[in-house]
Every structure is written in C-alpha cells, then in structure tokens.
Chains A and B, each alone.
Chain A
Amino acid sequence: EIVMTQSPATLSVSPGERATLSCRASQSVSSDLAWYQQKPGQAPRLLIYGASTRATGIPARFSGSGSGTEFTLTISSLQSEDFAVYYCQQYNNWPLLAFGGGTKVEIK
C-alpha cells in the first residue's frame, strides 16, 4: 500500500507571499499525482494532475512539480481565496487512490 505524507501540516503565510507545499510517496508513483484544494463545508476541487498539469479553470499562480516520490505544490502569490486545506493524491495504483494527510494554509 502506497502511503502519502504531506508537510508541513500547517503553513502560515501572508497574502501575496509564496507558499510551498510538499508531498512524499512511500514508493514511486511516477507522475501519477494530483493536488486538491478543500475549503470548509465544500467538496475538494482538483487543482493539478499528472504532477504538473493545471486542471481546467485553475489560475496560473498554482503550479506543481516533481516525479517519483517527491512532489511540490507552489502557490506563487497567495490570494485571500487560497487559504484552505490542500491534499495530494496518488493514482498510480488506479483505480484505488491514496491521499496525503493534508496541509492547511492559513493567514499569517
């Protein structure tokens, strides 16, 4: 079973600053990695798939990188609407998925 680990658990960032979120897989998942954003009371929203491809309608300030076991989600300049919880998810073991524990991005 592939285990996904995200760090940090909480990231305090000021609006306009850059946020860098990390995700590590317990074994290689190639580029079969997605990122989601979840706001309180809402279902998750797909941001990135294939480790680096933005989903439809996702602003360019969101970018993903990495392959194998190490991945990064970068938000270049945080907007007020970006404060949320972010999850990585591997689908290398498709159709079963595994999510990371999440990183909460909060206002500093």
Chain B
Amino acid sequence: EVQLVQSGVEVKKPGESLKISCKGSGYSFTSYWIVWVRQMPGKGLECMGTIYPGDSDTRYSPSFQGQVTLSVDKSISTAYLQWNTLKASDTAMYYCARLDVAGVGSWGQGTLVTVSS
C-alpha cells in the first residue's frame, strides 16, 4: 500500500525557519515525483512545486519560486518543504502527494502550519 506520512502540526513565529517532512513507503520512492500543495484556510489547492527523488530535479510554480525550498533524502525516502523566513501568510495546510502519470492518486495526511506572533 502506498503511504505518505507527513510530520506533525507546527506553530511558529514570523521570521522563524521551518522544515516539514513527507515519508513515502509501499512503492519505489525514487521513481515518482512528489508534489507539494498549499491550502490556505478556507481556500483552494495550490501547487507549490514538484521534486523527483531519483535525481532531485525540482520545479517550482512561479508564485512559490524563491519563497520555499524543496529537497529529498532518498536514503530515508523522505521529501522536505522548507522556509527560511516564515510570514503570517504562510499559515496553511500543506500536503505532499505522489504524482502519477495522470493525476495525484496518493496524498499525505497534511501538515498544518500556523505562523503567529
């Protein structure tokens, strides 16, 4: 069974840094792109970017380029989403998911990030 397990709830202050994780299991982690999706409170889904664990090839959506960093550690089948300087507007639910040839069939449970002073 394909599983993506994300790290837990985070509460941070503006200006702090953060790295959240997404551990894949039940499939060949290095063979599928991982996509990160943001969902702000009460809002829709936004693709932040994707990363290929096999060679760390990374693509960012224009709105998120320079704002976040995607990375992977394929030795432990884990993908990461990182911020250097959090803002209140980064408050959201963040999902990782496995990108299949036609759509996103497997999703993590989400990581809720709250940024507040």
Q: Answer yes or no: B44 CB below 8 A from chain A CBs.
A: yes
Query: Chain B interface secondary structure, helix, strand, loop or mixed?
Result: strand
Smallest CB–CB gap between B34 and chain A, Å? Answer: 9
Q: Interface code B73-117, partner A: CB below 8 Å = 1, 0 otherwise? A: 000000000000000000000010101001111011110000000
| Contact B44–A99 (Cβ < 8 Å) | yes
Residues of chain A within 8 A (CB-CB) of B105 are 46, 55
| Contact B110–A43 (Cβ < 8 Å) | yes
How many B residues face the partner with a CB closer than 8 A? 24
Q: Which of A18-26, A67-75, A87-95 contacts B (4 or more CB under 8 A)?
A: A87-95
Q: Answer yes or no: B45 CB below 8 A from chain A CBs.
A: yes
Task: Please report which residues of chain A, range 59-92, place their CB below 8 angstroms from some CB of chain B when the two chains form the complex.
Answer: 85, 87, 89, 91
| Contact A49–B45 (Cβ < 8 Å) | no
